[in-house]
Amino acid sequence: MIKIYNTETKRKEEFVPIEEGKVRMYVCGPTVYNFIHIGNARPMIVFDTVRRYFEYKGYDVNFVSNFTDVDDKIIKKAIEEGVSADEISQRYIAECKKDMAGMNIKPATTHPLATQEIDGMIEMISDLIEKGYAYPVNGTVYFRTRKFDSYGKLSHKNLDDLRAGNRTLLVSGEDEKEDPLDFVLWKPKKEGEPAWVSPWGEGRPGWHIECSVMSKKYLGEQIDIHGGGEDLVFPHHENEIAQSEACCGKVFTRYWMHNAFLNIDNKKMSKSLGNFFTVREISEKYDLQILRFFMLQAHYRSPLNFSAELMEASKNSLDRIVTAAENLKHFIGNSAEKEMTAEETASLEEVKAFVQKFEEAMDDDFNTADAISAVFELVKYANTHASADNAKSYLETLRKTLTDLCDILGVIVEKEEELLDADIENLIAERQAARKAKDFARADEIRNELLEKGIILKDTREGVQWKRA
């Protein structure tokens, strides 16, 4: 029985899916105007692990995670570079997917793009106007927050308190609104910005409506789990509930899951403090498997502190697991095909206790910290109860148990064969030749192939320099 802490009810609840054996899950993805930072990486790693555990438990998971590819930040970047907003978003979606692969995050069942779902957004906004929940003014469409009776049920905020106590929520266009707390569903076109034709004039959608429409299209009117960082609880997820439930008249999401913030050296991550790291920058110093392992060593609802010392500790911890798996592989290669002894059979029964401990931790609101403790107990056991003298089948069972548990965490224990220096030089030479021939697709392919194997290239005036991550 899996228990999930539900942000809405503020308690752990037994997970009961809408449809038996199936999980419908939506996780808010990044806005693609730059390389993703390690704050973006935390929900990606957390909810990928949640998905993997459901799959391990035999559920069929429909996992949807969007890319916000139309936004003020994307437009600003496009104007700065003198290119289209589409070029910026496509570039950084590709870069984001590379980083996700490095962190061993499985591609979503569907990765919808906001710009490809505009028709659905216009349709939902029209429905909300028809039902009296929204109203147009001079090309902008607003949602009537007070008309939705249970507004605030996720964030536990009271509308009157918001009105009285927080002027920052009163966004521009206040004079047009019926109520300062009404939020935007559609905004009119500005010169030089991407826009779409709508019944209210050319413009583009507000951010909140995008996720309501994409989750409805790919998962249905009701979903099991909606996830994201805790910074999205209000107003984004609160507004999603209002739009979706006002439109469909049904409970939108059964379980709301939110991961806590990531701090850097005990301070909030910010560009002004100079402690802002992208996943790509981290990949130049560490294998991204270490970043993933580091993130999972804390419970997802606990604030997490990132530091060089903690990353080094994670590297050493992960090495212990990988080494144990390597040793078992070595023993398997040198062991004999023979019947398991009574001791070996009894030993494998003991191993089941570690698996049970792992599952109990994951069943309790995906407690990856305790699950990793169970993995280390298994590692310690394998280190003291395995040798090349054991039966091959015994060793294989031990190794499979270890790799299966690590796979749920998305941690790869299979060491890749290291590329020899000569192989690297040959690939670099091939890349240079491809660039000369203007075959940039092949040149990029080689660079990515090397990056996946932990080889970082740097183009300099003196030629190409490389180093191992």
pLDDT tens-digit readout, 303-343: 999 999 999 999 999 999 999 999 999 999 999 999 999 99
The band of 170, judged by pLDDT with boundaries at 50, 70 and 90, is: very low
Helix, strand, coil shares, percent, the chain, to 5? 50, 15, 30
Distance of alpha carbon 130 from alpha carbon 266, whole angstroms: 49
Q: Scan for tokens 């910005």, then name that residue.
A: 193
pLDDT confidence of residue 174: 56
Q: Are residues 158 and 44 in the same domain?
A: yes
Q: Are residues 103 and 199 in the same domain?
A: yes
For residue 168, pLDDT over 70 is answered with no
Q: Are residues 125 and 178 in the same domain?
A: yes
Looking at the domain assignment, is residue 360 inside a domain? yes
Whose CA is closest to 27, among 45, 1, 5?
A: 45
pLDDT confidence of residue 453: 79
In this prediction, residues 207-221 reach a mean pLDDT of 97
In this prediction, residues 200-216 reach a mean pLDDT of 97
Give the mean pLDDT of the chain: 93
For residue 436, pLDDT over 50 is answered with yes
pLDDT confidence of residue 425: 85
Q: Are residues 334 and 385 in the same domain?
A: yes
Q: Are residues 73 and 152 in the same domain?
A: yes
Range of weakest confidence among 198-212, 268-282, 416-430: 416-430
Q: Are residues 229 and 137 in the same domain?
A: yes
Range of weakest confidence among 224-238, 296-310, 351-365, 408-422: 408-422
For residue 81, pLDDT over 60 is answered with yes
Quick check: 226 and 26 in contact, CB under 8 A?
yes
**For 153, left (φ over 0), alpha (ψ -120 to 50), or beta?**
alpha
With both helix axes pointing from N to C terminus, report the angle between 238-248 and 207-219 in degrees, rounded to the nearest 10. Answer: 50
Cα 193 to chain centroid, rounded: 29
In this prediction, residues 463-469 reach a mean pLDDT of 81
| Full-model pTM | 0.88
pLDDT confidence of residue 169: 47
pLDDT confidence of residue 254: 98
Looking at the domain assignment, is residue 138 inside a domain? yes
Q: What percent of the chain has pLDDT over 70?
A: 96
In this prediction, residues 127-147 reach a mean pLDDT of 97
Q: Are residues 212 and 290 in the same domain?
A: no
Greater confidence (436 vs 399) lies with 399
- Characterize 354-369 residue by residue with b for buried, 16 or more Cβ atoms within 10 angstroms of its Cβ, and e for exposed: beebbbebbbbbbbbe
Quick check: 69 and 89 in contact, CB under 8 A?
yes
Looking at the domain assignment, is residue 274 inside a domain? no
Helix (H, G, I), strand (E, B) or coil at 401: helix
Domain that holds residue 250: 3-259
Q: Are residues 87 and 209 in the same domain?
A: yes
Reading the block at residue 142, the tokens are 């607003």
pLDDT confidence of residue 423: 81
Looking at the domain assignment, is residue 269 inside a domain? no
Q: What percent of the chain has pLDDT over 90?
A: 81
Looking at the domain assignment, is residue 270 inside a domain? no
Give the number of domains in the chain.
3
pLDDT confidence of residue 210: 97
Q: Are residues 90 and 219 in the same domain?
A: yes
pLDDT confidence of residue 97: 95
Q: What is the DSSP string of 48-87?
A: HHHHHHHHHTT-EEEEEE-BB-SSHHHHHHHHHHTS-HHH
CATH number for the domain spanning 285: value is 1.10.730.10
pLDDT confidence of residue 454: 79
Range of weakest confidence among 27-36, 180-189, 441-450: 441-450
For residue 451, pLDDT over 90 is answered with no
Helix (H, G, I), strand (E, B) or coil at 14: strand
Q: Are residues 105 and 189 in the same domain?
A: yes
Distance of alpha carbon 74 from alpha carbon 78, whole angstroms: 6
What are 106-119's pLDDT values in tens digits? 999 999 999 999 99
Q: Are residues 231 and 92 in the same domain?
A: yes
